[in-house]
Structure 1
Amino acid sequence: MKKNKKSEFVKWMGPILDALRTLGGSGTPKEVSKKVAEILDVPDEILEAKLKSGVQRFHNQVCWARQYLVWEGYLDSTKRGIWTISKTGENKTIDEKEGREIFLKWVDIHTSRRKNKEDSDDDELVESIDEVESISDNNTLINLDHREELLKILRLMSWQNFEKFSLLLLRENGLTDLKLTGGSKDDGIDGVGILKVNPFVTFKVLFQCKRYGEKNPVQRQHIAEFRNSLIGRADKGIFITTSYFTADAIREASREGAQAIELVDSEKLVELIEENELGLEPIKSFKIKYEFFQQFEK
């Protein structure tokens, strides 16, 4: 069977183990993805690539690679939201060839269990993984149909209404005294609010909203200009977009010695909307964890 480019996530299996060892044995999904990218010096064009839903393709692939490592017993899945290397995986190294063998092994296992479906070959399964489904940080398969539709709705809003929607989202997440600024003299600032950390500490926050299409990312200069607008006016800045941030923009937002900017791209924006159930009605379903039932097999 020829190698399908859509199964390229197998090459991240070994680097995930390396990243976790570097991080001290555990890490959040985003920390692991970031460390893998650093270790392998992953090019910006790969880091910036998106699925149709707006999900970062690289991080999605890392999450899939992690799932196979869990099935193999190299990672533990006991702590929600935290990836932890297991005793078995502490000294394990995996090259791309072995990663693909692990992948094909579990394709066979799960295919044999799908009695109500036709057999799927490697290419068909990877097509499903890469383009139809996404896997979340917490090992939950996500149907992306509602996410794609949600992003369409957001991108079709007028810029004024998107600002109002962003205001509501920020309010739902604890910011108070929020108001839109607008006008020709706002220096790129769309709104202002207060974030109360505790009874003694509050931060003044300024935010900017960009209702961009998926092919129009936020560039480094946008972040730099926004930061300049914050000087002497606020403690924190939040940049919200329906598109994504280039790798240079992300680096600029967290540049050492400069005021950090919190970034909310289309993927994070949809996640926040889901968490707050804004305009969404949740539907509960279950997915069988076959690895759990392995202990009861003969």
Structure 2
Amino acid sequence: MTMPTFDKLMTPLLTALIRLGGSGSVDEMYEEVIELEGYSEELTSVLQNPEKSSQPKIAYRLAWARTYLKKAGFLENSKRGVWALTEKAREQPQVDSAEVVRYVRQLDGYAKRDITPPNGALDLDENNGDVPDEAMLWREQLHRILIDEMTPDAFERLTQRILRESGFIHVEVTGRTGDGGIDGRGIARINGLMSFHIAFQCKKYRGSVGAAEIRDFRGATVGRSDRGLFITTGSFTKSAIEEANRDGVPPIDLIDGDQLADKLKELELGVVTEMVEKVTLRNEWFLSI
């Protein structure tokens, strides 16, 4: 099975959203497309750029597919990160990906150059020379800081801070070796009425966390917490996600590198969002005087 180009993911993406009821989060769409297309774990484990990001190559290309479909009027998204089909997409769930790319490129000022490779397949990495937008660049920079510059102890303290800022209480980092993979514990409060104990593991990682690591972590949490939380700078394989949600065993909540970045941005922990003023000149106004 070969790596699909971003344009080949457009129709599967629309189909996935239809199966999800017309809307979904990025993670829901990703998992639905993987299941729909039957992509292997080997394929989904390939990272876009192992040195800069924990994002799987397919997830990266799905992001471009979403961007193009949005500009072409097939998708819309909210500030809360939920993507939805437009009326245009509901009427036309099968898209001509080449036409979508041609339209968007013309819209963005790329009309002067040929965007279709000889083999007819579009590939952002190898054929078109595109670079990630600002949203992708800051994630890559954050990934580099977390992986290359933060010490394991500092990363554990960062996890502790994230949980505290998210409403957890009595959050402690165990800081002990031989604790079965448990890096810390905390208590989650629900509406001030209910609470449950969690054990967490935070792993600085460039690649993908597999099912075996989830099983080992769950084994360490049994009898010591109500549920587990596994946080990584990397990603999770399909089998790891399935193992985390397997019936009949205590669940393990998963936070991958992209979700970690989003949470840091949401909590404004080391990530500052700045609004940039945009000035537009109205030529017709001046000429009408």
Range class of TM-score, shorter chain: 0.7 to 0.9
| C-alpha distance in 1 between matches for 2:165 and 2:156 | 14
Change over 3 Å in CA distance of 1:192–1:84 after alignment to 2: same
More off after superposition, 74-83 vs 257-266: 74-83
Q: CA deviation at 1:225?
A: 0.9
Structure 1 stretches lacking a partner, 5+ long: 114-118, 135-140, 289-298
- Tell me the secondary structure at the aligned position of residue 84 of structure 1: strand
Contact 1:7 1:126 in 2 (8 A): no
Structure 2 stretches lacking a partner, 5+ long: 280-289
Show the 5 A alignment for 1:110-125: 110-111=108-109, 121-122=114-115
1:108 equivalent in alignment to 2:82: no
Aligned-partner residue type, residue 57 of structure 2: R
Show the 5 A alignment for 1:8-23: 8-23=5-20
1:132 equivalent in alignment to 2:131: yes
Cα-to-partner distance string for 1:77-107 (whole Å, 9 max, x where unaligned)? 4675322223332242436xx2122112221
Q: CA deviation at 1:76?
A: 4.1
Change over 3 Å in CA distance of 1:287–1:197 after alignment to 2: farther
| C-alpha distance in 2 between matches for 1:56 and 1:19 | 18
CA-atom RMSD, angstroms? Answer: 3.0
| C-alpha distance in 2 between matches for 1:190 and 1:230 | 11
**Which of 171, 177, 193 is equivalent to 2:170?**
177
Aligned-partner residue type, residue 210 of structure 1: K
| C-alpha distance in 1 between matches for 2:79 and 2:91 | 21
**Which of 168, 178, 187 is equivalent to 2:180?**
187
User: Normalization by structure 1: what TM-score?
Assistant: 0.78
Give 1:237's aligned residue. Answer: 228
Contact 1:182 1:189 in 2 (8 A): no
Cα-to-partner distance string for 1:240-288 (whole Å, 9 max, x where unaligned)? 2222222222221122222221112222222222222222333323789
Aligned-partner residue type, residue 274 of structure 2: I
Contact 1:6 1:130 in 2 (8 A): no
Change over 3 Å in CA distance of 1:287–1:105 after alignment to 2: farther
- Tell me the secondary structure at the aligned position of residue 133 of structure 1: coil
Give 2:46's aligned residue. Answer: 49
Change over 3 Å in CA distance of 1:130–1:20 after alignment to 2: farther
Aligned-partner residue type, residue 10 of structure 2: M
- Tell me the secondary structure at the aligned position of residue 186 of structure 2: strand
Give 1:83's aligned residue. Answer: 83
Contact 2:47 2:56 in 1 (8 A): yes
| C-alpha distance in 1 between matches for 2:183 and 2:60 | 31
Give 2:154's aligned residue. Answer: 161
More off after superposition, 190-199 vs 174-183: 174-183
| C-alpha distance in 1 between matches for 2:79 and 2:259 | 22
Cα-to-partner distance string for 1:83-141 (whole Å, 9 max, x where unaligned)? 2223332242436xx2122112221221169xxxxx5553799349887315xxxxxx5
1:222 equivalent in alignment to 2:220: no
| C-alpha distance in 1 between matches for 2:36 and 2:73 | 23
- Tell me the secondary structure at the aligned position of residue 163 of structure 1: helix
Give 1:283's aligned residue. Answer: 274
User: Normalization by structure 2: what TM-score?
Assistant: 0.80
Change over 3 Å in CA distance of 1:283–1:37 after alignment to 2: same
Give 2:265's aligned residue. Answer: 274
Aligned-partner residue type, residue 147 of structure 1: R
Give 1:32's aligned residue. Answer: 29
1:196 equivalent in alignment to 2:189: yes
Aligned-partner residue type, residue 131 of structure 2: V
Aligned-partner residue type, residue 150 of structure 1: L
Aligned-partner residue type, residue 29 of structure 1: V
Give 2:62's aligned residue. Answer: 62
Contact 1:74 1:85 in 2 (8 A): yes
Q: How many residues align?
A: 268
| C-alpha distance in 1 between matches for 2:191 and 2:129 | 42
| C-alpha distance in 1 between matches for 2:274 and 2:31 | 32
